[in-house]
């Protein structure tokens, strides 16, 4: 099957792909609760006659197409939604208050099912194995790590893995990525500053955690501006400051939360060490105590292997046309696809779903986020072409 045939068949099944996407969009489920989403994936694979394993990392599904032996390529989609109340004006709006597919994972799942259908129709052409990974909990739950721990990259061993993420910052019909580091290592940050509460008119009888917390927020920025090599990238963003309930009461404690980013895991660990030292020292200098932690899962940086990007790029150009693939600089977003590329070579890329005429201009995680569904068959076709080309190359 050549790339033209792949694209035209993907366009033929566009209504089917879009139907699945809209069904998922109306019923968003948060991380590790993707039970109905997982059931829909499984029933679709059943209809297509594709074998799969379910209940991996709670709701994950691993489909297999081909002869069950090597060479082996994996394609990955994530299934979880976000705790955001949808404000987009679409007639298949989220039916669950406070939950929304605002990161497009509904599109990722539907595009991979589209690819599954095309690959199954041409299974006789597959000399090797294509694994279809439907994972839970990309949004901070490290679902990719759990799926890897449960062995989805083994038996047969995955030699290359590909993943797509929709982006309304790119126009439909384009794709962007790069070789090397594409996305940052990420960690969350929590600091509790303990002081001593009391009457706000008599500060000398209290130990004020509010002014101490404010100093910590400001001082953390100098780790980036004064300690980091200016040619290295790092981010410390304090995004929440909570404390106090009355205008005339000094609260006993303040809580800060935020996120840290670096383009390397070493860089991330360095920032964590320095944040702990700086916050504890400022607290001590102000007679407070700081409790510093980095809750949740640290995400490694997403590294695109050079050969995988070359293969992905060539396969995408065949689908979208010359000049439609963009080399982009790294960005400080995090992505748990990184857990796969820690173990096997692979490539992650952004698929354009932006279209100002449709209002598909908002970035992911925005309550007005919208996609141009014309891009979905392209995503399915890119998956298929990447898999088939790579299997040919690996043979």
Minimum Å gap between C-beta 257 and Ni ion is 21
72 versus 103: smaller Cβ distance to Ni ion: 103
Minimum Å gap between C-beta 138 and Ni ion is 6
Residue nearest to Ni ion (CB): 103
142 and 60 in contact (C-beta within 8 Å)?
A: no
For Cα atoms 293, 279, 181, give the angle at the middle one, nearest 5 degrees: 60
Per CB under 5 A, 290 contacts Ni ion: no
Interface with Ni ion in residues 65-104 (CB under 5 A): 103
Token pair 């929304």 in the structure block, residue? 100
Minimum Å gap between C-beta 166 and Ni ion is 8
Minimum Å gap between C-beta 335 and Ni ion is 7
Q: Is residue 139 packed enough to be buried (19+ CB in 10 Å), middle (13-18) or exposed (0-12)?
A: buried
Number of residues that bind Ni ion (CB under 5 A): 1
SS3 label, residue 108: helix
Minimum Å gap between C-beta 373 and Ni ion is 17
What separation in angstroms does the CA of 335 have from each of 67, 160, 234, 246, 386?
31, 17, 16, 40, 20
197 versus 296: smaller Cβ distance to Ni ion: 296
188 versus 269: smaller Cβ distance to Ni ion: 188
78 versus 372: smaller Cβ distance to Ni ion: 78
Q: Put residue 172 in one of left, alpha, beta given phi > 0 → left and psi -120 to 50 → alpha.
A: beta
185 and 267 in contact (C-beta within 8 Å)?
A: yes
101 versus 117: smaller Cβ distance to Ni ion: 101
159 versus 304: smaller Cβ distance to Ni ion: 304
Interface with Ni ion in residues 103-142 (CB under 5 A): 103
SS3 label, residue 390: helix
Write down how long the chain is: 395
Minimum Å gap between C-beta 238 and Ni ion is 23
282, two tokens: 């400022």
Binding positions for Ni ion, rule: CB under 5 A: 103
């Amino acid at each position: 099957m050549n790339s033209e045939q792949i694209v035209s068949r993907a366009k033929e099944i566009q209504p089917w792909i879009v139907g699945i996407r809209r069904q998922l969009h109306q019923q968003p489920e948060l991380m590790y609760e993707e039970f109905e989403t997982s059931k829909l994936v499984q029933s679709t694979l059943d209809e297509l006659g594709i074998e799969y394993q379910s209940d991996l990392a709670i709701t994950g599904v691993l489909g297999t197409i081909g002869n069950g032996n090597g060479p082996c390529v994996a394609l990955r989609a994530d299934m979880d939604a976000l705790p955001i109340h949808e404000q987009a004006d679409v007639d298949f709006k989220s039916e669950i208050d406070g939950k929304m597919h605002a990161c497009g994972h509904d599109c990722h799942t539907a595009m991979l099912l589209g690819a599954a259908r095309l690959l199954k129709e041409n299974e006789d052409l597959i000399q090797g194995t294509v694994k279809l990974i439907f994972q839970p909990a990309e949004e901070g739950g490290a679902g990719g790590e759990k799926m890897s721990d449960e062995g989805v990259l083994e038996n047969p061993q995955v030699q290359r893995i590909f993943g797509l993420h929709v982006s309304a910052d790119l126009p439909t019909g384009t794709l962007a990525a790069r070789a090397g580091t594409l996305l940052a290592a990420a960690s969350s940050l929590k600091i509790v500053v303990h002081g001593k509460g009391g009457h706000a008119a008599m500060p000398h009888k209290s130990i004020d955690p509010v002014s101490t917390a404010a100093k910590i927020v400001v001082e953390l920025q100098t780790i980036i501006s004064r300690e980091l090599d200016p040619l290295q990238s790092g981010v410390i963003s304090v995004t929440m400051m909570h404390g106090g309930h009355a205008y005339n009461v000094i609260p006993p404690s303040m809580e800060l939360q935020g996120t840290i980013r670096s383009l390397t895991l070493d860089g991330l660990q360095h920032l964590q060490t320095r944040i702990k030292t700086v916050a504890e020292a400022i607290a001590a200098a102000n007679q407070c105590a700081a409790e510093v932690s980095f809750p949740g899962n640290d995400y490694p940086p997403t590294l695109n292997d050079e050969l995988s990007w070359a293969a992905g790029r060539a396969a995408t150009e065949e689908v979208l046309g010359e000049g439609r693939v963009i080399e982009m600089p790294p960005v400080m977003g995090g992505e748990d696809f990184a857990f796969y590329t820690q173990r096997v070579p692979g490539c992650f890329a952004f698929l354009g779903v932006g279209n100002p005429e449709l209002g598909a201009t908002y970035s992911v995680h925005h309550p007005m986020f919208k996609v141009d569904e014309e891009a979905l068959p392209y995503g399915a076709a890119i998956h298929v072409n990447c898999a088939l080309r790579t299997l040919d190359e690996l043979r």
